[in-house]
Amino acid sequence: MSSLQEIVDRVVGQAKPGEQVEAFASRGGETSIRVYEGEVEHFVSAQSEGIGIRVIREGRTGFAYAGTLDESAIAEVLGEARDNVAFGTPDEWAGLAEPDGVEPVPQVLWSDALEQFPTAKKIDLAKELERLAIAADSRVRVDEADYQDGWGEVAVATTTGIRRAGRENAANVSVGTLAEDGEDTQTGFGFSVGRDPALFDLQKAAREAADRATRLLGAIKPPSKKVTVVLDPYVTAQFLGVISSTLSGEAVIKGRSLFANRLGEVVASPLITLIDDPTNPLAYTATDLDGEGLAARRNMLIEAGRLNQFVHSSYSARRAGTSSTGNAVRGGYAGGTPGAGCLAMQLAPGTRSQEQLIADVSDGVLIQMVQGLHSGVNPISGDFSTGASGLLIKDGKIGAPVREFTIASTLQRMLMDVVEVGGDIDWLPSRAAGVSLVINDVMMSGE
């Protein structure tokens, strides 16, 4: 079997004069195990592969992909991509990334221990997690306990001289819980992630899954009023995910960012320092390379409330008259031209615990879960409205659980209304780290 690098090199070697060609190939595998009531409910084990080829000629771009690395199929893909070029509109900025001399910061993305981790132990982990979650509280049942792992290797080559390959693997366990008390049912979840399943903290995952569900038993629908919200780290990570789309250089050049033309201005509370740093090995999405094969790097996006920079791919950078920040994001081999996006965001943490933050809130809600970030949040207009559940806060103390309400504001206002960032940074399995966040003047809609 050819190495991926050989495969993409061969494709790029077939470029004709006047043509830019990029080939991106990947190969990967997964194990997915679900346990229910002590038995394996399903066990999925498989491998997949594919290639995507981009051709640019006279500013026009064409793309094709196939879910195979079969040589005859690759020839067809190159032919299709070339054929598709004719239908693009010439774009003076179209082009592939070029090596920029920035050396990647090496990252440990592969674990031999995970590769060799025996199947029987994977099943045991899921069974044990299910057992622990049920044992955590007599009111708790488990509807799914999962073990999943995956590995992938990729290679990219371009006629502009990019030539990179890498591989990584990772695993996780997760559990979904139902807490029942009379007619009342609430749900929770817990997880543990990493590259060495032997280090998973099953106790913590089970405890959190049980707590999340039982804490909400007896929840009522709250009244409608303005409150201070304390976002749980898990919710803050999701909030940062929404913010990230406003900081994409591609959104900026295409007039879809509410922060366009605001570089250097104050856009957030002085407590907000937002960094995108995939070179930080603590970040779940730490990586050495971006989607175009340039070195991933640390970028300061908002510094003490002031908008410092956007994140760029080579295309958005060329149009904006700047250089790539190493933030090209590619949607796998079928993804086409990479976009520009954040890779590993984090807020510079404060110093105090969530409990200390809550102690200063006179009338508020601790937001434990949000629902509907994809439907009621518009990162272009800034409108923010999401379903939520959590716990009321009265005079610095946690009170009754609440559900079936929304919290609403605008992204612009929420960033300005941040009154404290917690010290409890949590490297969650997402593109953003979590941290407790206190935001004033958010509208809670219930009764």
Residues 66-85 touching another protein, rule: CB under 8 A, are: 66-68, 73, 76-77, 80-81, 83-84
Cα three-residue angle 289-290-293, rounded to 5 degrees? 70
Q: Which of 8, 407, 416, 433 binds another protein (CB under 8 A)?
A: 407
Measure the CA–CA gap between 174 and 424, rounded to whole angstroms.
22
Q: Give the x/- contact pattern for another protein in 230-269, rule: CB under 8 A.
A: ------------------------xxx-x-----------
Query: Total binding residues for another protein by CB under 8 A?
Result: 74
Measure the CA–CA gap between 16 and 431, rounded to whole angstroms.
38
**Contact, 113 vs 296, CB < 8 A?**
no
Q: Does 314 bind another protein (CB under 8 A)?
A: no
Q: Which of 14, 20, 356, 378 binds another protein (CB under 8 A)?
A: 378
Q: Give the x/- contact pattern for another protein in 105-144, rule: CB under 8 A.
A: ------------------------------------x-xx
Judged by beta carbon, residue 203 or residue 445, the one nearer another protein is 445
CA 92 to chain centre: 32
Contacting range for another protein; rule: CB under 8 A; set: 17-25, 43-51, 96-104, 306-314: 43-51
Measure the CA–CA gap between 268 and 257, rounded to whole angstroms.
15
Q: Does 408 bind another protein (CB under 8 A)?
A: yes
Q: Does 380 bind another protein (CB under 8 A)?
A: yes
Q: Does 332 bind another protein (CB under 8 A)?
A: no
Beta strand spans in 37-139 (E): 39-57, 60-66
Q: Which two tokens stand for residue 120?
A: 């029987």
Residue among 7, 165, 3 nearest 74 (CA): 7
Contacting range for another protein; rule: CB under 8 A; set: 157-165, 201-209, 261-269, 329-337: 329-337
Residue among 170, 168, 172 nearest 152 (CA): 168
Contacting range for another protein; rule: CB under 8 A; set: 57-65, 127-135, 228-236, 264-272: 57-65
Q: Which two tokens stand for residue 157?
A: 């080559």
Contacting range for another protein; rule: CB under 8 A; set: 32-40, 101-109, 132-140, 264-272: 32-40
The contacts of residue 308 (CB under 8 Å, 6+ apart) are: 263, 264, 300, 301, 302
